[in-house]
């Protein structure tokens, strides 16, 4: 239970940190100069590129915890 709470707190802290790519002034000014439809497309594109890695990592961490718990129960 403690590991889950720590993982939840860590995810909240990581969610709040600004992205490293926001420091690129040229990319930011180029995105800000686009139309509202272009900005929506960029936002959707970012989500499309971010969701699969987060899903794979969540699945991998979940399977690792499940395997560890199962292994610990077999060793007792």
How confident is the model at residue 61, as a pLDDT? 94
Domain assignment of residue 34, yes or no: no
Token pair recorded at residue 18: 């600004």
The values of phi and psi at residue 24, to 5°, are: -80, 105
Res. 1 pLDDT band, cuts 50 70 90: low
Tell me if 45 sits within 8 A of 34, measured CB to CB: no
Give tens-digit pLDDT for 17-58: 665 555 677 777 888 888 999 999 998 998 999 999 999 999
Domain assignment of residue 14, yes or no: no
Domain assignment of residue 74, yes or no: yes
Task: Find the mean pLDDT for residues 9-23.
Answer: 67
CA 39, CA 18: separation in Å to the nearest integer? 18
The values of phi and psi at residue 52, to 5°, are: -60, -45
How confident is the model at residue 57, as a pLDDT? 95
Domain assignment of residue 2, yes or no: no
If one counts the domains in the chain, the total is: 1
Domain assignment of residue 7, yes or no: no
Greater confidence (14 vs 66) lies with 66
Domain extent at residue 72: 51-76
Give, in degrees to the nearest 5, the angle at Cα 75 between 9 and 60.
40
CA 61, CA 52: separation in Å to the nearest integer? 14
Domain assignment of residue 67, yes or no: yes
How confident is the model at residue 69, as a pLDDT? 92
Domain assignment of residue 33, yes or no: no
């Amino acid at each position: 239970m403690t590991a889950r709470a720590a993982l939840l707190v860590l995810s909240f802290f990581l969610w709040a940190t600004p992205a490293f790519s926001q420091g690129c002034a040229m990319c930011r000014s180029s995105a800000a100069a686009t139309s509202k439809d272009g900005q929506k497309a960029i936002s959707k594109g970012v989500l499309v590129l971010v969701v699969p890695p987060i899903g794979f990592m969540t699945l991998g961490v979940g399977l690792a915890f499940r395997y560890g718990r199962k292994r610990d129960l077999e060793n007792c």
